């Protein structure tokens, strides 16, 4: 009796052959690949009943391979067994959606066969595999420079981290050619988006990004700083940015991205995969006009209004356009209005201190806290809507 089809992905020929023979002897049909990329093609084309892979693939990181399987509808729920080298990897792989993790050894054969039986058996008492959800992705963008995008991004990220101390938060600065987040939070280390993008892809794993990114007590979040200067920006390996942002989503619960005003192809995947987009608008006609263009672009890219969090930031002293006028011109509800803070905002930035710590009793602090909790609930709601669609 044929008991089901198993895809074996293992770059070691001897071990791959061994596994195939073993499984065929036990009555399973097999399909095999020595490379992760080919394995993905087979997995999505042939829809095996179970996938068994060795974490040490020659072309893709084991976590990246698993992530790709779990984030595709065709394999989101396929039982997956990971064969690895160290029990320390187990938690990571289980968290990323593996049903079973086994350390590869001769003794593991009975365990493996038992696990396969249980996973393929309909009444198995195993928890159903969960597709990887990943953290909530929240990019900040604006139509114009000097709108307060970077300042609001870090201050809202800080407020959310404070409200949810058990969650892991990261801020990614993707503004080129010079990111300003590092200067605001007071970071001058060497780890940044450019340096990480030049690493081999298989080394850029969720576990690595969880460990390697600095965190401040004052700001509460981890930081993946942007390019410190135009010279370094030229070395950015743009093709790796999407992978980096996916791995950040696996490693962290909330991922804030300072996108700034450049809606380049580099950040398009981040915009499209965002749970919620913070759109920062200043109170002048030019900003509103440019924002209208951005909204049109977002619409074309399939971003609907419930994924937008429009923020009116009064960066300059005079009244400018009213909130009601802006809402009318953009046909959108403003979710947060930040008053003009005079020199206070720049002062806090220059001292690398979050507004919530610098001016905890001011109205601005209340507004930030209120907006932070609204953002979280909107991001959660948007994700639920996306999943039920």
Ligand X SMILES: Nc1ncnc2c1ncn2[C@@H]1O[C@H](COP(=O)(O)OP(=O)(O)O)[C@@H](O)[C@H]1O
For binding to Mg ion (CB under 5 A), which residues are involved? 149-150, 180, 260
Distance CA 101, CA 112 (A): 9
Residue 142 beta carbon to ligand X: minimum distance, rounded to whole angstroms: 5
Q: Which residue in 341, 355, 356, 378 binds ligand X (CB under 6 A)?
A: 341
SS (H, E, C) the chain: CCCCEEEEECCCHHHHHHHHHHHHHCCCEEEEECCHHHHHHHHHHHCCCEEEEECCCCCCCHHHHHHHHHHCCCCCCCCEEEEECCHHHHHHHHHCCCCEEEECCCCHHHHHHHHHHHHHCCCCCCCCCCCCCCCEEEEEEECCCCCCHHHHHHHHHHHHHHHCCCCCEEEEECCCCCCCHHHHHCCCCCCEHHHHHCCCHHHCCHHHHHHHCCECCCCCCEEEECCCCHHHHCCCCHHHHHHHHHHHHHHCCEEEEEEECCCCCCCHHHHHHCCCEEEEEECCHHHHHHHHHHHHHHHHCCCCHHHEEEEEECCCCCCCCCHHHHHHHHCCCCCEEECCCCCHHHHHHHCCCCHHHHCCCCHHHHHHHHHHHHHHHHHHHHHHHHHHC
Q: Which residues pair with 30 in a beta bridge?
A: 6
Binders of ligand X among residues 131 to 170 (CB under 6 A) are 142, 145-151
Report if residue 181 touches ligand X, rule: CB under 6 A.
Answer: no
Binders of ligand X among residues 266 to 295 (CB under 6 A) are none
Report if residue 174 touches ligand X, rule: CB under 6 A.
Answer: no
Report if residue 227 touches ligand X, rule: CB under 6 A.
Answer: no
Residue 342 beta carbon to ligand X: minimum distance, rounded to whole angstroms: 6
Report if residue 180 touches ligand X, rule: CB under 6 A.
Answer: yes
Q: Name which of 62 and 148 has its Cβ closer to Mg ion.
A: 148
Q: Name which of 84 and 260 has its Cβ closer to Mg ion.
A: 260
Report if residue 328 touches ligand X, rule: CB under 6 A.
Answer: no
Q: Which residue in 64, 248, 315, 330 binds ligand X (CB under 6 A)?
A: 315
Lookup: tokens for 199: 């690493």
CA-only gyration radius of the chain, Å: 24
Cβ(61)–Cβ(77) below 8 Å: no
Residue 220 beta carbon to ligand X: minimum distance, rounded to whole angstroms: 18
38-46, 103-111, 249-257, 344-352 -> range binding ligand X (CB under 6 A): 344-352
Report if residue 195 touches ligand X, rule: CB under 6 A.
Answer: no
Q: What, of Mg ion, ligand X, none, does residue 340 touch, CB below 5 to 8 Å by kind? A: ligand X
Q: Which residue in 345, 372, 375, 378 binds ligand X (CB under 6 A)?
A: 345
Report if residue 360 touches ligand X, rule: CB under 6 A.
Answer: no
Lookup: tokens for 244: 């980096």
Q: Name which of 60 and 311 has its Cβ closer to ligand X.
A: 311
Q: Of 349, 377, 316, which is closest to residue 144 (Cα–Cα)?
A: 316
Q: What, of Mg ion, ligand X, none, does residue 179 touch, CB below 5 to 8 Å by kind? A: none
Q: Name which of 180 and 205 has its Cβ closer to Mg ion.
A: 180
Q: What, of Mg ion, ligand X, none, does residue 94 touch, CB below 5 to 8 Å by kind? A: none
Residue 164 beta carbon to Mg ion: minimum distance, rounded to whole angstroms: 25
Size of the residue set binding ligand X (CB under 6 A): 19
The CA distances from residue 258 to 1, 112, 129, 156, 181, in Å, are: 56, 45, 33, 11, 8
Q: What, of ligand X, Mg ion, none, does residue 134 touch, CB below 5 to 8 Å by kind? A: none
Q: Name which of 147 and 240 has its Cβ closer to Mg ion.
A: 147
Q: What, of ligand X, Mg ion, none, does residue 338 touch, CB below 5 to 8 Å by kind? A: ligand X
Residue 310 beta carbon to Mg ion: minimum distance, rounded to whole angstroms: 17
Write the binding mask 249 to 268 for ligand X: x where contact by CB under 6 A, - elsewhere: -----------x--------
Q: What, of Mg ion, ligand X, none, does residue 345 touch, CB below 5 to 8 Å by kind? A: ligand X
Distance CA 242, CA 267 (A): 8
Residue 329 beta carbon to ligand X: minimum distance, rounded to whole angstroms: 20
By the criterion CB under 6 A, which residues form the site for ligand X?
A: 142, 145-151, 180, 260, 313-315, 338, 340-341, 345-346, 349
């Amino acid at each position: 009796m044929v008991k089901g089809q198993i895809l074996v992905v293992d770059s070691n020929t001897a071990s791959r052959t061994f596994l195939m023979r073993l499984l065929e002897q036990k009555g399973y049909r097999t399909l095999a690949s020595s490379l992760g990329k080919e394995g993905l093609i087979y997995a999505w084309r042939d829809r095996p009943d179970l996938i068994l892979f060795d974490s040490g693939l020659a072309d893709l990181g084991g976590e990246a391979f698993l992530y790709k399987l779990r984030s595709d509808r065709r394999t989101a729920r396929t039982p997956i067994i990971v064969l690895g080298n160290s029990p320390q990897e187990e938690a990571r792989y289980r968290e990323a959606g593996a049903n079973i993790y086994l350390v590869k050894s001769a003794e593991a054969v009975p365990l493996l066969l038992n696990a396969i039986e249980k996973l393929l058996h309909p009444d198995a008492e195993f928890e159903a595999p969960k597709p990887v959800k990943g953290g909530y992705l929240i990019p900040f963008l604006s139509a114009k420079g000097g709108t307060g995008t970077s300042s609001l991004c870090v201050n809202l990220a800080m407020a959310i981290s404070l409200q949810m101390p058990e969650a892991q938060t990261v801020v990614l600065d993707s503004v080129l050619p010079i990111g300003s987040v590092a200067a605001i939070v007071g970071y001058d280390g060497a780890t940044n988006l450019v340096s990480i993008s030049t690493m081999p892809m298989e080394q850029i794993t969720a576990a690595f990004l969880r460990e390697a990114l600095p965190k401040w007590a004052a700001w509460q979040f981890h930081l993946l700083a942007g390019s410190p200067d135009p010279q370094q920006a030229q070395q950015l390996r743009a093709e790796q940015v999407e992978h980096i942002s996916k791995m950040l989503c696996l490693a962290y619960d909330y991922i804030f991205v300072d996108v700034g005003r450049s809606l380049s192809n580099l950040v398009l995947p981040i915009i499209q995969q965002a749970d919620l987009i913070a759109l920062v608008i200043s109170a002048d006609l030019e900003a509103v006009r440019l924002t209208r263009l951005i909204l049109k672009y977002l619409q074309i890219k399939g971003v609907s209004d419930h994924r937008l969090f429009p923020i009116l930031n009064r960066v300059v002293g005079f009244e400018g356009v009213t909130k009601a006028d802006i809402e009318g011109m953009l046909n959108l509800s403003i979710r947060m209005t930040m008053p003009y803070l005079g020199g206070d905002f720049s002062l806090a930035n220059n001292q690398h201190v979050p507004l919530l710590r610098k001016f905890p009793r001011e109205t601005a602090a209340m507004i930030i806290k209120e907006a932070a909790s609204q953002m979280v609930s909107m991001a959660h709601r948007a994700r639920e809507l996306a999943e039920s669609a």
